[in-house]
Structure 1
Amino acid sequence: MTERPIHEGLEARIADTIAPTLEHMDYELVRVQVSGKERPVLQVMADRADGAPFRVEDCEAISHALGAVLDVNDPFKNEWSLEVSSPGIDRPLTRAKDWERFAGHIATVELALPMEGRRRFRGIALGADAENARLKLEDGTELTVPRQNIRRAKLVLTDELIAATAAPAAKN
């Protein structure tokens, strides 16, 4: 089974419902996020399992497949909408593999419960395992954060990140 991001509550139930379909289609779930109360918006962020660039056609295929799955197992009482996207360059760090892949790049982390009297940290991602993520803070100290305590973590858009994620130039 593919490593899945950590979610809670409704988002966890939705992730458990849709992840098998995504994995069967050779995609990986990056994040599920629900926003809005009156007419909820379900945002699903996915990556291609083969590492190839994410295309509009990928969004369409995922949207159709997940729409069918969610119509059967409707997570909402009223009308809602589905948005499918790629993680983008300044992607969220939701899985240990994301932390490992982007080690060396600047990230911001927002915690559910404060550590060292703070909820927000910025530093260089050092990697992660199933339990913890590591960050080298701007003062040079290293911070180990339980992944269960991370409310939000994402890469910071920098020239280095853009260069590292740029598609290789086409050869003639």
Structure 2
Amino acid sequence: MSKSRVVEIVEQLVTPIVAAEGLELVDVEYAKEGANWFLRIFIDKPGGVDIEDCGRVSEALSGKLDEVDPIPTSYFLEVSSPGAERPLKKPSDFVRAIGKQVHITTYEPVDGKKEFNGELVSYDGEWLVVAELQKTVRKQCHIPLNKIAGARLSVTF
């Protein structure tokens, strides 16, 4: 079974579990690292998740995964917070990130660049506007959503 199909099935299984706990499903990742496979579930809520939230979701999902058995190989299940540099994938993620620092990568150059770091100024469903500080000038970069390879919050020190 393909990785994307596993992610799709797991998302269907975990979504009602997360919703019942009053949490948000941020992401599902199924990846091979070295000889091991990892199924990672990232959850969040206002104020952040704690170990008890992760434990409840892990226990409930583990039972569902045993029942449905969508993954043909052995794997490690991890349920955690997405962290401070959480990924931005859904429209609601981008809306919530307006006014915050972001890191964006693109599949192909936009205005001669493939990497953008700055404040997310706006999102309209098709375009992101990121304000970058270039030397001493704040420049707005308009990035089409369909060219985005990756997007996440960015912590600056």
TM range (shorter): 0.7 to 0.9
CA change 1:106–1:42 in 2 (3 A) is same
Report if aligned partners of 2:48, 2:81 keep a CA contact under 8 Å in 1. Answer: no
| CA shift digits 1:54-79 (9 cap, x unpaired) | 11101101110111122222232111
The two structures, once aligned, show a CA RMSD in angstroms of: 2.4
CA shift, 1:14, in A, is: 2.3
Partner of 1:93: 88
Once the 2 structures are TM-superposed, how far is the Cα of residue 121 of structure 1 from its aligned partner?
A: 2.0
Change in 2 beyond 3 A, CA 1:149/1:70:
farther
Find the aligned partners of 1:118 and 1:158 in 2 and give their Cα distance: 20
Correspondence for 1:73: 68
Deviations 1:23-79 (A, max 9, x none): 12211110111221643101110112xx24311101101110111122222232111
1:85 CA drift (Å)? 0.8
Q: Does 1:18 align with 2:7?
A: no
> Aligned match of 1:154 in 147, 152, 155?
152
Amino acid at match of 1:142: C
Where does structure 1 lack aligned partners over 5 or more consecutive residues?
Answer: 1-7, 160-172
Aligned with 2:84: secondary structure?
A: coil
Give 3-state SS (helix, strand or coil) of 2:36's partner. coil
TM-score (norm 1): 0.73
AA paired with 2:42? Answer: M
Aligned partner of 1:35 in structure 2 is: 31
Unaligned runs of 5+ in 2: none
2:129 matches 1:134: yes
Q: Alpha-carbon deviations, 1:109-164, whole Å to 9, x = none?
A: 123x2142543222211243444433223340232331x543321111125xxxxx
TM-score scaled by structure 2? Answer: 0.79
Aligned to 2:118: 123
Residue equivalent to 2:108: 114
Which protein has the bigger strand share?
A: 2
Deviation at 1:15, TM superposition (A): 1.7
Distance in 1 between residues matched to 2:61 and 2:144, nearest whole Å: 33
User: Aligned pair count?
Assistant: 148
**Equivalent-residue separation in structure 2 for 1:26 and 1:89 (angstroms):** 20
**Structure 1 residues 82, 150: CA separation in 2 closer, same or farther (over 3 Å shift)?**
farther
